Amino acid sequence: MARRAKGKVSGQVSGQQSAEDRLIARHFKPIARHPGALGLTDDAALLTPPAGHALVITADAVVGGVHFFPDDPADAIAKKALRVNLSDLAAKGAQPAGFVLTLALPKGVGDNWLKSFARGLGADAKKYGCPLLGGDTVLTPGPVTISITAFGTVPDGTMLRRSGARVGDHVVVTGTIGDAALGLKLRKERGARRRWNLNAVLQRHLLGRYLVPEPRCALAEAFRQLASAGIDVSDGLAGDLGKLCRVSGVGAEIDAAKVPLSKAARAALAAEPGLLKTILTSGDDFEVVATVPPASLDVFLTAARVVGVSVTAIGRVTAAKEVQFIGPGGRPLSFARASFSHF
């Protein structure tokens, strides 16, 4: 059990800070400016949603060697840890309100790593209006492990659920699908670079999409007001849409050719057509798939254009109780697995 202190405090104890306190004061206090954070000088934070609003709470952990590579830049790791949570808030139609962080660090993580981590975290906290409220730092014999609980607000009773999809609704998805999975493949398989024959720009695009996702917070309000159901695509489009349909008691028919792909993904797919299944069933997209009633589709697409997030209608909700992806030649695709699962 690693219950040892490195710092030595002699004489009386008041007025002295432990090394842990100093770490928090140096790196995290500067990014915890929300009054409810109490300057990180207390055991708890305070948060009150505005009158008539509910708090939306989501929690996601990322682990070195599982969700990121241990040698990824610390600021990118921090951003990913926060953004996977912001993506959930966006899919629920919630406005970010703040977050708490528990950070488990191996021995020997230096001041530079922490400085970069806090810089990345602080930049995103500011960018997305989601301030650090509090947390905990602990030692671990394992890899860097970051758990974030993020808070958002919605007017009472209006959180977008997985359960509201109705037969005939359009299925829409933000951004592009599959980039992160291809970026991960590029890092893991030397052969992929050669097979796909991508130029440096396209490679960088895929690698960057794996490293730091783009949460669709700008669309949260449109989702909340106009969509009937939503979920963030963290474990693969096919599987996550399947979850939404299961809870809604419906199915969906998706035209695989309409699933939005980046230029890089299209190039890779042209070189290796078998990647279609990777693209549709692998994790880490952090886009949002939602269902939108036909009467609202035009307004929704206009709202998306206004905030500058690309949105594509890829199919319709059906009564079939299953999600069918229709592939080339009108044949349904079948997948060995629908989505990423840790277990």
Positions 278 through 307 that interact with a copy of itself (CB under 8 A):
282-284
Cβ 87 vs Cβ 234: under 8 Å: yes
Under the binding rule (CB under 8 A), the answer on residue 18 touching a copy of itself is yes
DSSP string, 312-332: EEEEEEESSSSEEEE-GGGPB
Q: In terms of CB distance, is 176 or 248 closer to a copy of itself?
A: 248
Q: Binding to a copy of itself by residue 202, rule CB under 8 A?
A: no
Q: Is 166 in the site for a copy of itself (CB under 8 A)?
A: no
Query: In a 10 Å sphere around its CB, with 0-12 CB exposed, 13-18 middle and 19+ buried, how is residue 182 labelled?
Result: buried
213 vs 242, beta carbon nearer a copy of itself: 242
Least CB distance from residue 210 to a copy of itself, whole Å? 10
Minimum CB separation of residue 326 from a copy of itself in Å reads: 12
Cβ-based nearer residue to a copy of itself, 242 or 260? 242
CB of 66 to a copy of itself, least distance (A): 5
- Contact between 226 and 158 (Cβ < 8 Å): no
Question: Is residue 190 at the binding interface for a copy of itself, with CB under 8 A as the rule?
Answer: no
Distance CA 134, CA 333 (A): 46
One character per residue 81-120, x = contact with a copy of itself (rule: CB under 8 A): -------xx-xx-x-----xxx-xx---------------
- Name the 3-class secondary structure at 274: coil
Q: In angstroms, what is the minimal distance from the CB of 242 to a copy of itself?
A: 4
Lay out the site mask for a copy of itself across 57-76 (x = CB under 8 A, - = otherwise): xxxxxxx-xxx-x-------
Q: Does 265 bind a copy of itself (CB under 8 A)?
A: no
SS3 49: coil
Alpha carbons within 13 angstroms on the beta-carbon side of residue 160 total 30
Is 98 or 175 the residue whose CB approaches a copy of itself more closely? 98
Collapsing DSSP to helix, strand or coil, 276 comes out as helix
CB of 92 to a copy of itself, least distance (A): 5
**Window 26 to 45, contacts with a copy of itself (CB under 8 A):** 38, 41-45
Distance of CA 225 to the CA centre of its chain: 21
Among residues 204 and 246, whose Cβ is nearest to a copy of itself? 246
The yes or no reply on residue 177 touching a copy of itself (CB under 8 A) is no
| Local structure of 309: helix, strand or coil | coil
Angle at 83 between CA 77 and CA 88, to 5 degrees: 140
Q: Does 321 bind a copy of itself (CB under 8 A)?
A: yes
We find the least distance from the C-beta atom of residue 305 to a copy of itself, in angstroms, to be 25
Considering only residues 240-259, where is the footprint of a copy of itself by CB under 8 A? 241-243, 245-247, 251-252
Q: Distance between CA 17 and CA 7 in Å, rounded? A: 9
Nearer to a copy of itself, 111 or 298 (CB): 111
The neighbouring-strand residues paired with 174 are 311
161 binds a copy of itself (CB under 8 A): yes
Given candidates 26, 263, 331, 337, which one binds a copy of itself under the rule CB under 8 A?
A: 337
Build a one-symbol-per-residue string for 131-150: x at contacts with a copy of itself by CB under 8 A, - elsewhere. Answer: --xxxxxxxxxxx-x-x-x-
Buried b (16+ CB within 10 A) or exposed e, 149-163: bbbbbbeeeebbbbe
- Three-state DSSP class for residue 280: helix
**For the CA atoms of 6, 8, 14, 15, what is the dihedral angle to 10 degrees?**
-90
Tell me the number of residues near a copy of itself by CB under 8 A. Answer: 112
Integer Cα distance of 288 and 88 in angstroms: 8
